[in-house]
Amino acid sequence: MEHFTAEEIIAWAQDRFGRQLALSTSFQPAGMAVLDMAARRGGPFRVFTLDTGRLPEETHQMMETVRRRYGIEVEVVMPDAAEVEAMVRQHGSNLFYRSVALRTLCCQVRKVRPLERKLKEFKAWMAGMRRDQAGSRAGIPKVDSSSEPVKIHPLADWTRAQVDDYLKRHSVPVHPLYAKGYASIGCEPCTRPAGADEEERAGRWWWEQGAAKECGIHFEPDGTSRRAVDVLLGRILKPEEPNREYA
Pairing of strands 46-50, 143-144: unpaired
Rounded CA separation 209/119 (Å):
32
Could you tell me where the DSSP H helices lie in 52-184?
A: 57-70, 81-91, 100-107, 113-119, 160-169
| Bridge partners, 152 (sequence order) | 126, 143
Q: Is the Cβ–Cβ distance between 202 and 94 less than 8 Å?
A: no
**Phi/psi class of residue 12: alpha, beta or left (left: φ > 0; alpha: ψ in -120 to 50)?**
alpha
Catalytically active residues, by annotation: 215
- Contacts with 215 (C-beta within 8 Å, 6 or more apart), sequence order: 104, 107, 111, 112, 186
Q: Is the Cβ–Cβ distance between 74 and 67 less than 8 Å?
A: yes
Rounded CA separation 100/221 (Å):
9
CA quadruple 112, 114, 118, 124: dihedral, nearest 10: -10
- Contacts with 190 (C-beta within 8 Å, 6 or more apart), sequence order: 54, 96, 103, 204, 205
